[in-house]
Structure formats: structure tokens, C-alpha cells
Amino acid sequence: MIVLFRNIPDDSYHNDITAIVQPVIKGGFFRKQGNINSIEILALKEINTGSLEFQALAHIEPEDAANRVIKKLHGHYIRGSRVTVRQYYLRNWKNDKRSEEKDVDWQLQEKRTNPSRRRNLKVYKIALPEYK
């Protein structure tokens, strides 16, 4: 499962994410030990305003350990910044229900006044460390 860490500090690195995730995925008497497969740090730059937002994607197996990470670290503070932790979903245009119906005018059917997705983003990947 891919776990998304939002609003991490701008000087965060892979070691910082590993340090807070490692105690949570450690196995116990009734819990299975987890494994971090990889961590990616992303910088999202909004083209219109020039603001930067830093996020981390952690690939954690098994799914039970990833769910523990989400439950325990959501709202956790990293160097003064409150971090949002949730599951990351891979989106695919084939899964969009709107693509099935061809003759519907989506301009009329769209009810949202403010779109929830930010369109003008530039994504920068910060150097990736080697994982086993």
C-alpha cells in the first residue's frame, strides 16, 4: 500500500520519514512486522502562485502495517508541522464513470463551483535513496 504524507517540512529527507514510520511498523506479539519498500519525497510547485508544498510517498507492506501507520501518524507533528497521513490512490482515466456515457453534456452536469484538483502543478522528485 502507498501511504501519503502531506505538509511535511521543506527540509525533510527520507531518514526523517523512516524514523517516524519504523517504530509503528515494528511487529509485536499479535502484530505482523511491516517493511518499507521505498520512500519518495515530492515538491509540488503551484505555477500560478509559486508556492511549494512537500509530500512523501511511502510504499509499506503488508497492508495491516500501512493501516497502522495511517491511524497512528495522522495529525503527528514533524518539526512543528502537522502532517496529514492517508492512503494514496492511483487514478486511471479508465476508472472514470463519466467516460462511459458519451452523449451527456458535462458542463451542465458538473455541480462543483470550485474544482477540487489543482491543475497547474509542477512536480519535482527529490533524490531517492537505495532500498532493498
Instruction: Report domain extents, the chain.
Output: 2-89+121-125
Return per-residue pLDDT of the chain as tens, 132 residues.
999 999 999 888 888 899 999 999 987 778 888 999 999 999 998 888 888 889 999 999 999 999 999 999 999 998 888 999 999 988 776 766 656 555 555 555 566 666 566 667 788 888 666 554
Distance CA 17, CA 3 (A): 11
Q: How far is CA 47 from CA 34, 53, 93, 113, 127, in A?
A: 37, 12, 24, 21, 22
CATH number for region 2-89+121-125: 3.30.70.330
pTM of the shown model:
0.77
Cα separation, 45 vs 122, whole angstroms: 5
